[in-house]
Structure 1
Amino acid sequence: MNRVTWVRSLVCGLPIAVLCSTTALAAEACGSAGKIVGKVDNKPVSYPSRVFRDGSIAVRAPLAVNPDGGSGSYTVGNHGFTYVQNGLDAWRAGRRVACDAACMTEFAKAEAAGFASAGEEFCVFAMVVEPLSPNQALSACTKGTIAGNGKGRIKFGTERQTVAGTTIQTYASTTSLRHMSGGKAAYLDSESLPVLVTNDSSLLRKIVWVGGQDLHGTFGLIGDVGPAFGEGSIALHQLLRDGSVTTQSLGPIPVGMRCQQPELALKAPFISRPDSKNDACRPGRTPTSVSDIRAYKGIDEYLDFVVLGEADFPRGSNGVLEEVTPASIELVARKAGYSDEKIQEMRQCLHR
């Protein structure tokens, strides 16, 4: 038998069978193809994903910021880490209408009147609405609760310190899930907990591993439902970038403090948003307007997300039966059998 015949017999015999079997196993290990709905520039996009036998899902997507649930998310006067209009819509003739400039003008009037006087009604979906009197029944709107026109008011949260050393009144912000904190049910805090948003409510309470180039791999909890996958809490962004969570004071930054340490030292995901356009800090120009501090600096590069199919918190009537912390999130993942090696094997399926 010459060399050519011998090589052909190996390829057509046992060695090729082993090779085919190995290839099939590799393909099976990477699950099946799927898709997850995301959003870029407010337009829906579809991210290809891999769906594994244990229900895990691997997907690549950028990461926007969702401050909801943080005590500094929304404030009286609209100086929170996100804009008030991102947590509500106008409610007109039984329909939700996107809150535009006219809506915000009416909101300021309603806010000044404690939401008690006649005027615009608002469908609130990211803040807590409470009755104006103990016996008042609240009215529902599409995926929210009505505030304004005497039908309900947005509930105050804590008072927070500003970079100017004053205090500002916040509104209580919500997430889809709650957990037990201090023996009471509480919404998931965007400023201290790594929380992710999903467009699929069946994924709530699932643990996700998130990582990317030059970032700190981090475990997070899917704790909020929104229109698209690919948003994460303030704490998640800080953990990915810096490996730790820090506290940020709220704005506004007065004109006399503009372009000084409180503004120049801001770290992502926080950025300065002046009231006037083209009033950003730059050499040779003195700012003329106050600036707010918004949590708007997302990660545009595509990250790797691995939703761990068999790692989730036990379900209770309020969402999660125990207190959620960064450490407890990772502990749930480890107890479910997700080692670093197993997670990286699923992650690598995104790069084949």
Structure 2
Amino acid sequence: MASGGNTMQSINTWTDLSGFSALRQSAQADSKAALPAVARQFESIFTQMMLKSMRDANYGDPLFQSQAGDAWQGLFDQQLSVSLSSQGHGLGIADMLIRQLGGKDASPKAAADITDPATSDQAGTNALENDWRQRLGSVADAARSIGQSVSRWIPDDAQEFVSALAPFAAQAARKLGVSLRAVLSQAALETQWGKRMPTRDDGSSSNNLFGMKAGGSWDGERVNVPTLEFEDGVGVRRHAQFRAYGSAAESFADYARLLGGNSRYAEALGKGDDVLGFARGLVNGGYATDPTYASKVAAIANSPAMRQALAALKNVVEKPTPSR
């Protein structure tokens, strides 16, 4: 029967199903011997979840994004998580689990640090826990440095996006004389349904739901992030400063003030549920440089995702209150 360590060495790719089967058999035969391998597999899963959360929160560059690219990125992250956990100390999570669950020392360094048998368990656990915290701290610092965050709000789907933002969007829509659908569709385009927003240096969200840039007249907080601008119809990568808000409500209020108080966007106001007319008015006023911006907003407004989300919202609003 292969030991836990040998079993772990055989699982060097996330698609190695035979290796996982051998690991299961080893754990059933001798759970303590298989503990190191199981702990490292747990660390691999944790690492993959962390990578996925950070990539989901990354503002990204739309010029290089696609469904195929996201799929290959996911496969790469799965393999990367296995490689990181199986080489060296990884994040140190596996070592700490082994110590806490009573397994053998996972590394020569951990054994060398233990000199007093009477205090070996506590000393080993403390040393590994401190090492683990330092490693996680380094990962967190790296994530923050590229504008990533695993703690900010990211809606699961269009329905959650619409239900969470509808109250603020409705207020903005009334001020601008357009439909709730028009405002939400533009916010969905600018943020990819809430999944892509400019972030602060610490990784927290700017709550900027409309890609509002920070010009010379803006005296509030700013964030500097990559963006895609169109010059003569050609996409060009730039860095630009965007406005940052304390909440989504502030973003919608500022958006309504900007459009309603600037004559450049007069053509977009009062369009009711004419989403395409509203979006064209924005483009003509210089809101966006993308030549297909208006059609993209209209496409989202007419998409099954938006229609279903608005229908679900309407059902909640119109649901009768049970009589007492």
TM-score (norm 2): 0.22
User: Per chain length, whose mean CA-contact separation is higher, i.e. which structure has more relative contact order (CA < 8 Å, sep 6+)?
Assistant: 1
Greater strand content: 1
TM-score (norm 1): 0.21
